[in-house]
Amino acid sequence: MSIVAGIDFGTLSVRVSLFDSVKGRLGTGTGPYPLHRRGDDPEHASQSHADHMNALVAAMKQAIASAEVDGTKIEALAIDTTGSTVVPVGENLEPLDDYYLWCDHRAWREADQITRAAHELGLEAIDWCGGSYSCEWGFAKLLHWLRSHPETRSRFVTALEHCDLATAVLCGITDPHKVPRSVCAMGHKWMWNESLGGLPSDSFLSAVDPLLAGVRDKLDGRYARSDTLAGTLTPAWAKILGLRPGIPIPVGALDAHWDAIGAGVRLGDVVNVIGTSTCVMAISERPDLIPGVAGVVPGSIHPAYTGIEAGLSAGGDIFEAIARRAGTDLGELSRAINDYRTGQTGLLRMTWDNGDRNVLANPHLRGATFGWNLAHTAADDLFAAMEGTAFHTRIILKRMAEYGIPVRRMINTGGVPRKSSVINRIYANALNVPILIPTGDTTSLGSAIFAFLAAGTFSTVDEAQSALCSPYLTVEPDPRSVTHGNELFAHFRSLYFSLGRETSEPVALGRVLPDLLRIASEAKRNDDKQKEIHIF
């Protein structure tokens, strides 16, 4: 029996959970930190390194108090964070600015430039991240910072993902050549590819912009999977956190990837983490390219397999925005759609409110809704938005299946599926597969699993999952709703590829609105019949 700390840095707070290898979760603490937005720039989203670390201290103290354990009995800790959340640093890895948070889109011009250069110069690495470089990723954000801060450029030493800097700080690592670099983060967000020799060449980066000359060498470090130790906790940080010095800390990772581990992902599974955005993940024995998918990286998610990641640029953020515009909260609005059926709103929503991450990888797209009438409500909009995210996820799953990644089980996890049962029913009907929902909280469980590996408690990820992961609640698709869902998806797919690509061929759309009306009428009629059955 051993106790470890799993640390999960999310968009608005850090959560620390203490786990016992036999008893499971013992206690949890949370530390919030501000997200800095700017009214004059809607693309801006930043956070402070100091705020992150102060929140970690508070959350750790809460977790220890909640678990009623002696902090010196904790045998290891592990860290996951959002990503690509990037900070430029100077000497001794001191931040030169705030983090560019994962949802910061200021670097869209830089991302477009990197994508164009990659195709013009035949950079093979671009194919491994879906054929398009995102403004949410590392090189784009770093180039934006270099262009925007000429007065600070001379002090620039390297750039770090949040998971790597947080881990390095706790381990007392200040040498950029020795800093741990997560394969998860660097592979999916920086085009690092071991089979291609690591990062893109200096000649390519210099061709994008001379400001990137020499950056490849500055992104040096120990690139490793999460079953590798980054170092051990320093005496100074042990005292601050109330832990024992010298406990092992593995190489960190992206939060969604370790959420998949905590949700029990196995070969043949797809894990859909629905939070502020969504992350669709699978693992495979083969490192095969999948066009339009954000990343295929050996050793990511599960260190023994190839990790596959795709997703939507917004999920919960869209739902929250609908509730905010309606002057209510999301919980109340969600309760209003508990009895809705697939297609009954007569709306079809393209959920591009924050651009498209996959499979079009176009940050310039914006949301569109078909079928509005004067009687539609915010609840209708919310249900249609949830259906839209489900249909968009189906686009991604179809692309994965076309390239040999089957969907035997679909596991929904993250904050939204835990709080709203209706979204799991929507996904089951839209995807026509059973949706599995972990009965226990998976937040920070993935990081705890890698902490247990670092402590030597378990020898493999699979062994730790068998001991610690929760059983599932299963939501089965409803055959009548699936029929309507298939009809809606056919229109969604047509609209997705015709509206989402400037070079698309003309497509007939004359049946969209009549079919939405017919499906809504049929769904309501079926619902009325079902209510009559219950009455009698």
Q: Which residues of 306-331 are buried (b: 16+ CB within 10 A; e: fewer)?
A: bbbbbbbbbbbbbbbbbbeebeeebe
- Examine the domain organization and report whether 205 and 282 are in the same domain: no
Please check whether residues 215 and 318 belong to one and the same domain: no
- 166's enclosing H/E stretch is helix 162-171
Whether 140 has a pLDDT exceeding 90, the answer reads: yes
Spatial contact of 16 and 5, defined as CB atoms under 8 Å apart: yes
The verdict on 198 and 271 lying in the same domain is no
Among 13, 100, 79, 82, smallest CA distance to 51 is for 13
- Assess if residue 499 is contained within a domain: yes
The label of the residue with tokens 């609005």 reads 333
Positive or negative: CA dihedral 67, 473, 414, 401: positive
Given a cut of 70, whether residue 533 has pLDDT beyond it is no
136 in a structural domain:
yes
Q: Are residues 294 and 367 in the same domain?
A: yes
What is the spatial distance between Cα 266 and Cα 406, in angstroms, rounded to a whole number?
12
Report yes or no on 97 lying in a domain.
yes
188-200 pLDDT per residue, tens: 999 999 999 999 9
Is the predicted pLDDT of residue 426 greater than 50, yes or no?
yes
Is the residue at 173 inside a domain?
yes
Distance CA 513, CA 491 (A): 10
Quick: pLDDT tens for 150-174. Answer: 999 999 999 999 999 999 999 999 9
Residue 119 in domain = yes
Strand pairing of 253-254 and 74-81? parallel
**Whole-number Å distance between alpha carbons of 528 and 474:** 26
Among all chains, which residue has been given the structure tokens 């709703």?
481
Residue 180: its H or E element: strand 180-182
Over 312-334, what HEC string results? Answer: ECCCHHHHHHHHHHCCCCHHHHH
Among 291, 269, 292, 290, which residue's Cα sits nearest to residue 281?
A: 269
Digit-coded pLDDT (tens) for 143-154 = 999 999 999 999
Q: Is residue 157 part of a domain?
A: yes
Q: Is residue 46 part of a domain?
A: no
Instruction: Report the CATH number at residue 400.
Output: 3.30.420.40
Distance, in Å, from the CA atom of 73 to the CA atom of 82, rounded to the nearest integer, reads 28
Q: Distance between the two ends of the chain, CA-based, in angstroms? A: 56
Per mean pLDDT, which range of 172-181, 231-240, 359-368, 527-536 is the poorest? 527-536
The dihedrals phi and psi of 327, each to the nearest 5 degrees, come to 70, 30
User: Same domain for 313 and 191?
Assistant: no
* Amino acid residing at 20: D
Question: String of b and e for 34-56 (b: at least 16 CB within 10 Å)?
Answer: eeeeeeeeeebbbbbbebbbebb
Task: Let me know whether 188 and 118 are in one domain.
Answer: yes
Tell me the average pLDDT of the chain: 95
For the record, the structure tokens of 302 come out as: 């599960």
Tell whether 324 and 176 lie within a shared domain: no
Same domain, 268 and 215: no
Chain-centroid distance of CA 505 in Å reads 32
Read off the pLDDT band of 86 (50, 70, 90). very high
Angle at 137 between CA 305 and CA 423, to 5 degrees: 70
pLDDT at 528: 60
Q: Look at residues 194, 220, 246 and tell me which one is the last residue of a structural domain.
A: 220
Q: Pick from 414, 439, 446, 435: which is nearest to 319 by CA?
A: 414
Domain extent at residue 380: 264-438+471-535
Bridge partners of residue 474, in order along the sequence: 436
131 and 271 in one domain? no
Domain shared by 302 and 421, yes or no: yes
Spatial CA neighbour of 231 closest among 175, 299, 150:
175
Q: Is the pLDDT of residue 4 over 70?
A: yes
Say how far residue 225 (Cα) sits from the centre of its chain: 18
Q: For residue 130, is pLDDT > 90?
A: no
Name beta bridge partners: 18: 5, 27
Please give the structure tokens belonging to residue 247.
């406990």
Structure tokens at 392: 């968009």
CA distance 381 to 289: 36
Quote the number of domains for the chain. Answer: 2
Q: Per-residue DSSP letters for 470-534?
A: --EEEEPPPHHHHHHHHHHHHHHHHHHHHHS-TTPPP---TTHHHHHHHHHHHHHHHHHHHHHHH
CB 59 within 8 A of CB 15: yes
Q: Please state the length of the chain.
A: 536
| 16-53 pLDDT, tens digit each | 999 999 999 999 999 999 999 998 998 999 999 999 99
Collapsing DSSP states into helix, strand and coil, what is residue 56?
Answer: helix
Tell me the average pLDDT across 398-426: 91
Please tell me which residue, 261 or 361, carries the higher pLDDT value: 261
Task: Confirm whether pTM is higher than 0.95.
Answer: no
Task: Dump strand ranges (E) for 345-429.
Answer: 348-350, 368-370, 409-413
- Residues 305, 202, single domain; the answer is no
Residue 59, CA atoms < 13 Å, CB-side half-sphere: 26
**What are the residues facing 44 on neighbouring strands?**
none
What's the rounded Cα separation, in Å, for the pair 180 and 184? 12
pLDDT digits (tens, 9 = 90+) for 91-104: 999 999 999 999 89
Same domain, yes or no, for 394 and 275?
yes
**Single-letter code of the amino acid located at 50:** A
Q: Is residue 198 part of a domain?
A: yes
Rounded Cα distance, 137 and 190, in Å: 7
Q: Which of 220, 253, 285 is the last residue of a domain?
A: 220
On the question of pLDDT at 227 being above 90, the answer is yes
What is the C-alpha to C-alpha distance for residues 164 and 74, in angstroms, rounded to an integer?
Answer: 21
Tell me which amino acid residue 283 is: I
CA distance 452 to 73: 13
CA dist., res. 220 & res. 178, Å (int) = 8
Q: Percentage of the chain surpassing pLDDT 90?
A: 87
